[in-house]
Chain A
Amino acid sequence: MLKRAQGLAPWLLAPALMVSSYQSMAEEVERWRFNMPEGVTSVSQNVYGLHMQMFWWCVGIGVVVFGVMFFSMIFHRKSRGVKPAHFHESTALELLWTVIPVVILVLMAWPATTSLIKLYDSSDADMDVLITGYQWRWKYDYLGEDVSFFSNLSTPREQIEGLAPKGPHYLLETDEHLVVPVNKKIRFLITANDVIHAWWVPALGVKKDAIPGFIKETWTRIEEPGIYRGQCAELCGKDHGFMPIVVEAVSEEDYRAWIENKKAEAAAIRELTSKTFSFDELYARGEEVYNRSCAACHQANGEGVPGVFPSLKGVGVAVGPIDNHIDVVVNGVRGTAMQAFGAQLSEVDVAAVVTYERNAWGNNMGDMTQPIDIYNHKQGK
């Protein structure tokens, strides 16, 4: 159960490693960050303003109350020879310090109310994106555009396990970005595939829970082009900390070009489905797919986690009948964590990963499968 600590060396060298790894990254990594970002939307900036207002109110009240306390602690001590007073009640004071806080609260609640009302108005958006939380990745569907894809964490496992230096966007990078146009009102329709997740991008000031079986809506209008990173914000299982979000806001023209590109990509994948691949092509592509989509549970060495995720090395579906293997990958296994990857991976990728699993780690089944086989399997043939 316990991960092997990679020897004592990292621990002894930890301070030095920390310093040296930061030195190479000083420009990219902002350290010692105290406060939330102001963000790039009117909502995030409004929220930042509210946050600072509340903060200063609290500082003010704290200074007054703690000031009185510290004054007492210094001047009303027995060691100064002070005799204690005897007063122990005052209705006037009690009223005063009940009414004044209520007034302060009203002053705080007023701007908070107007902000919330604005935040809740998702109507009349320029475009809609359906966001679905999966264990442990996000799916984005651009409604009306027929563009849809999964977005997976793309930080290599070696970085997580300390075998390679961490990149500047460690754990905050994905293979696919949610690309959107600036200055357009974008409505997000949010749901989940399995458990509750939450979609959160601090720079946009947007956070909404993703509830399985229900859709919730929220919106944003990004005022500055750029890349904005966020994370899942509701415990959703093992890899809750490993399903980030990357939003890329671009000009309208760039957005349209990207959409066309995505459609072309999808068309190309569909075309690839009828193509015949060589064993080596399938194996190589399969290894990439495996590391991206399967290794989190079944591990890079195929051995899985005993009692939790089955091993694929020398046992199970990977060394059994190929049709059964394809069925498990495409349709998942009901009642377990094995999802229906047929809905998430293209036919090419499924064919590749099945081929890889049957031949890696010494399995050497010698067989392979083509995308058209996967397509046919999905059709029930």
Chain B
Amino acid sequence: MAHGPAKGLTRWLYTTNHKDIGSMYLWFSFAMFILGGIFALVIRAELFQPGLQIVEPNLFNQMTTLHGLVMVFGAVMPAFVGLANWMIPMMVGAPDMALPRMNNWSFWILPFAFTMLVSTLFMEGGAPNFGWTFYAPLSTTYAPPSVTFFIFAVHIMGASSIMGSINIIATILNMRAPGMTMMKMPLFVWTWLITAYLLIAVMPVLAGVVTMMLMDIHFGTSFFNAAGGGDPVLFQHVFWFFGHPEVYIMILPAFGIVSAIIPTFARKPLFGYSSMVYATAAIAFLSFIVWAHHMFTAGMPLAGELFFMYATMLIAVPTGVKVFNWTATMFKGSMTFETPMLFSIAFVILFTIGGFSGLMLAIAPADFQYHDTYFVVAHFHYVLVPGAIFSITAGVYYWLPKWCGKMYSEVMGKTHFWLAFIGLNLTFFPMHFSGLAGMPRRIPDYHMMFADWNMISSIGAFLFGGAQILFLYIVISTIISGKKATDKVWENPEGLEWTVPSPAPYHTFSTPPEVK
């Protein structure tokens, strides 16, 4: 029954193989990462100096909006789904995902959605220009005509995520090899299981909020319009009810990846496996009750403001537990620092720095000075770039030899790491300062007192962008002409994926393995 892949282009169109689909998600997400990066470089080029030199304010707003949408929905989320597709079946000893044909559909609607979204740049009135958080009424009454295509694209992306999540949960709950109990699953599988439930819970809420927008724009309703008895702040509540769990959706799988890599290169088991599982579940649960910390200046009543401040601060506890556990994994290990380990350690340190600025933001009265400034931009870029992106990069370096059977060049990998590390810190660390100095977000021009930090940020951004081109080169040259990799690849990694040959055969675990 097992046979090799089909030939030709239609292989990719019709494939139901989790490895093929995982690869497509990863290539797609990388292309989106480059595209979102180009939008970011337009922003940073304009902000290199005070004055309006390159783009008009309206186009600048389109760049910031598309940068956010493409990175969140086109780069980070599909990359994690790609890793899930490749790794979850192998990690649980299953032959494929639970619903392979729905898996294909989940992927292929994404290029369609993003083509539509990016094509809005060329429509009359331009692309969406209201920020990736698209508050009403800027995004309803005052939006360009392309907002309808934006809404359609969001619906499609949401459908893709929901279908993918259903697939992931069904695979994890129903298709584990005999002997693989829940508490024997790798942490990557646990974090994705919990993430998938979060996705099913909140992507429909996003679909709901853009549907209400659509109603307000085209069908005369007044969900978010005060004139008809509605309230713009209702938009913010519903959006952030989705939006806050969404940012945890973008980091929980990262926790899983790093929890696989650090033990391998410390040559020591992950410290506190069950605590890590409970902490992940606690983070997921808490993520539902903190949403209004994005709205501290919207004029909420005092009791509400206090509640959200306390709940937000509380999330630091399970997150801290995870950081301590990774540290304890490293402690008294016997570490080597190959590229995946470099990216993972940088993740722990820099994500924690992002967590610190998050804790500061949680303090509501102080947030009155931070909200909508570059301090917030610094915070979320620290948790997303050396957070989510580094974990994905780490995962790619870690598992690429298993996927294609070839080793990447360690010298090149380390070069990529250091360029990216220096680049991102140059880009985002000064943003803490420009934010505290008083620079608001989403402005194309600024007073000279912010100029020094902005110039450094812009230089760092181009360096970071260049590093990603190097990454592309590394991946392609590895696939084409890398040295042959062993089956185990690393010294003694844990997990079923290392028991199959490198490259992994097209069909693995057609017969379930025995798990002790």
- Report if B345 contacts A (CB, 8 A): yes
Which of chain B's residues 336-370 have a Cβ closer than 8 Å to chain A?
Answer: 336-337, 345, 348-349, 352-353, 356, 359-360, 363-366, 368-369
Please determine whether A3 and B135 come into contact, CB atoms closer than 8 angstroms.
no
Across the interface, A116 reaches (CB within 8 A) one of B138, B302, B444, namely B302
Q: Given A34-B436, A76-B333, A76-B335, are A235 and B360 also a contact pair (CB < 8 Å)?
A: no
Measured between beta carbons, the chain B residues less than 8 angstroms from A30 are 449
Measured between C-beta atoms, what is the minimum distance from B39 to chain A in Å? Answer: 14
Please determine whether A205 and B369 come into contact, CB atoms closer than 8 angstroms.
yes
Please determine whether A18 and B49 come into contact, CB atoms closer than 8 angstroms.
yes
Measured between C-beta atoms, what is the minimum distance from B132 to chain A in Å? Answer: 10
Measured between C-beta atoms, what is the minimum distance from B456 to chain A in Å? Answer: 10
Measured between C-beta atoms, what is the minimum distance from A221 to chain B in Å? Answer: 16
Chain B, residues 292-316, CB within 8 Å of chain A (1/0): the string is 0000011100100110011001101
Q: Given A10-B53, A116-B302, A161-B52, are A78 and B335 also a contact pair (CB < 8 Å)?
A: yes
Interface stretch of the complex, out of B10-18, B199-207, B227-235, B502-510: B227-235
Measured between beta carbons, the chain A residues less than 8 angstroms from B352 are 62, 65-66
Please determine whether A6 and B334 come into contact, CB atoms closer than 8 angstroms.
no
Rounded to whole angstroms, the CA-CA distance of A206 and B305 in the bound complex is 16
Rounded to whole angstroms, the CA-CA distance of A68 and B368 in the bound complex is 34
Among residues of B, the one whose C-beta sits closest to the C-beta of A1 is B59
Across the interface, B448 reaches (CB within 8 A) one of A3, A22, A84, A198, namely A22
Measured between beta carbons, the chain A residues less than 8 angstroms from B345 are 69, 73
Among residues of B, the one whose C-beta sits closest to the C-beta of A37 is B438
Of the candidates B274, B323, B349, B438, the one having the most CB atoms from chain A within 10 angstroms of its own CB is B438
Which of chain B's residues 416-437 have a Cβ closer than 8 Å to chain A?
Answer: 433, 436-437
- Report if A101 contacts B (CB, 8 A): yes
Chain A, residues 215-234, CB within 8 Å of chain B (1/0): the string is 01000000000000011111
Please determine whether B446 and A171 come into contact, CB atoms closer than 8 angstroms.
yes
Measured between beta carbons, the chain B residues less than 8 angstroms from A73 are 330, 335, 337, 345
Rounded to whole angstroms, the CA-CA distance of A230 and B337 in the bound complex is 47
Chain A, residues 1-24, CB within 8 Å of chain B (1/0): the string is 111011000100010001001100
Across the interface, A5 reaches (CB within 8 A) one of B53, B125, B135, B335, namely B53
Rounded to whole angstroms, the CA-CA distance of A207 and B367 in the bound complex is 9
Measured between C-beta atoms, what is the minimum distance from B434 to chain A in Å? Answer: 8
Rounded to whole angstroms, the CA-CA distance of A43 and B368 in the bound complex is 11
Rounded to whole angstroms, the CA-CA distance of A32 and B433 in the bound complex is 8
Among residues of A, the one whose C-beta sits closest to the C-beta of B326 is A69
Rounded to whole angstroms, the CA-CA distance of A207 and B266 in the bound complex is 47
Rounded to whole angstroms, the CA-CA distance of A209 and B306 in the bound complex is 18
Among residues of A, the one whose C-beta sits closest to the C-beta of B275 is A94
Please determine whether B313 and A236 come into contact, CB atoms closer than 8 angstroms.
no
Measured between C-beta atoms, what is the minimum distance from A371 to chain B in Å? Answer: 32
Which of chain B's residues 237-282 have a Cβ closer than 8 Å to chain A?
Answer: 266-275
Rounded to whole angstroms, the CA-CA distance of A214 and B236 in the bound complex is 15
Please determine whether B365 and A115 come into contact, CB atoms closer than 8 angstroms.
yes
Among residues of B, the one whose C-beta sits closest to the C-beta of A203 is B438
Number of A-B contacts (CB under 8 A): 315
Across the interface, A307 reaches (CB within 8 A) one of B124, B297, B331, namely B124
- Report if B317 contacts A (CB, 8 A): yes
Among residues of B, the one whose C-beta sits closest to the C-beta of A112 is B363
Measured between beta carbons, the chain A residues less than 8 angstroms from B297 are 198, 207-209, 233
- Report if B482 contacts A (CB, 8 A): no
Among residues of B, the one whose C-beta sits closest to the C-beta of A244 is B447
Rounded to whole angstroms, the CA-CA distance of A209 and B292 in the bound complex is 14
Of the candidates A14, A119, A231, the one having the most CB atoms from chain B within 10 angstroms of its own CB is A231
Contact-residue bracket for chain A: 35 or more
Please determine whether A105 and B314 come into contact, CB atoms closer than 8 angstroms.
yes
Which of chain B's residues 111-163 have a Cβ closer than 8 Å to chain A?
Answer: 124-126, 129-131, 135, 137-138, 141-142
Measured between C-beta atoms, what is the minimum distance from B13 to chain A in Å? Answer: 35
Across the interface, A241 reaches (CB within 8 A) one of B57, B302, B331, namely B57
Please determine whether A89 and B335 come into contact, CB atoms closer than 8 angstroms.
no
Among residues of A, the one whose C-beta sits closest to the C-beta of B333 is A84
- Report if B56 contacts A (CB, 8 A): yes
Measured between beta carbons, the chain A residues less than 8 angstroms from B49 are 14, 18
Chain A, residues 308-351, CB within 8 Å of chain B (1/0): the string is 10000000000000000000000000000100000000000000
- Report if A304 contacts B (CB, 8 A): no
Please determine whether A50 and B333 come into contact, CB atoms closer than 8 angstroms.
no
Please determine whether A69 and B348 come into contact, CB atoms closer than 8 angstroms.
yes
Among residues of A, the one whose C-beta sits closest to the C-beta of B230 is A213
Of the candidates B298, B310, B446, the one having the most CB atoms from chain A within 10 angstroms of its own CB is B298
Measured between beta carbons, the chain A residues less than 8 angstroms from B135 are 195-196, 234-235
- Report if B487 contacts A (CB, 8 A): no
Please determine whether B232 and A212 come into contact, CB atoms closer than 8 angstroms.
yes
Rounded to whole angstroms, the CA-CA distance of A374 and B31 in the bound complex is 57
Interface stretch of the complex, out of A143-151, A162-170, A270-278: A162-170
- Report if B178 contacts A (CB, 8 A): no
Rounded to whole angstroms, the CA-CA distance of A307 and B232 in the bound complex is 28
Measured between beta carbons, the chain B residues less than 8 angstroms from A213 are 225-227, 231-232
Measured between beta carbons, the chain B residues less than 8 angstroms from A305 are 56, 58
Interface stretch of the complex, out of A51-59, A178-186, A250-258: A51-59
- Report if B182 contacts A (CB, 8 A): no
Measured between beta carbons, the chain B residues less than 8 angstroms from A94 are 272, 275, 321
- Report if B410 contacts A (CB, 8 A): no
Please determine whether B320 and A97 come into contact, CB atoms closer than 8 angstroms.
yes
Rounded to whole angstroms, the CA-CA distance of A21 and B447 in the bound complex is 13
- Report if B472 contacts A (CB, 8 A): no
- Report if B478 contacts A (CB, 8 A): no
Rounded to whole angstroms, the CA-CA distance of A194 and B140 in the bound complex is 11
Please determine whether A98 and B321 come into contact, CB atoms closer than 8 angstroms.
yes
Measured between beta carbons, the chain A residues less than 8 angstroms from B208 are none
Please determine whether A112 and B437 come into contact, CB atoms closer than 8 angstroms.
no
Sample of 30 A–B contacts (CB below 8 Å): A3-B52, A30-B449, A31-B452, A34-B433, A35-B433, A47-B365, A54-B363, A72-B331, A76-B266, A77-B335, A84-B267, A85-B332, A101-B320, A109-B313, A116-B306, A160-B445, A166-B50, A172-B447, A194-B142, A207-B371, A209-B297, A209-B298, A211-B233, A212-B137, A213-B231, A213-B232, A232-B440, A235-B61, A239-B57, A241-B442
Apart from A51-B360, A88-B268, A232-B440, list 10 A-B contacts with CB within 8 A: A29-B447, A29-B448, A37-B438, A84-B334, A89-B273, A105-B314, A207-B372, A230-B438, A239-B57, A305-B58
Residues of A at under 8 Å CB distance from B?
1-3, 5-6, 10, 14, 18, 21-22, 25, 29-37, 43-44, 46-47, 50-51, 54-55, 58, 61-62, 65-66, 68-69, 72-73, 76-79, 82-90, 93-94, 97-98, 101-102, 105, 108-109, 112-113, 115-117, 119-120, 159-162, 166, 169-172, 194-196, 198, 200, 202, 205-209, 211-214, 216, 230-242, 305, 307-308, 337
Which 5 A-B pairs give the minimum distances between C-beta atoms? A213-B226, A241-B443, A216-B299, A58-B356, A33-B437
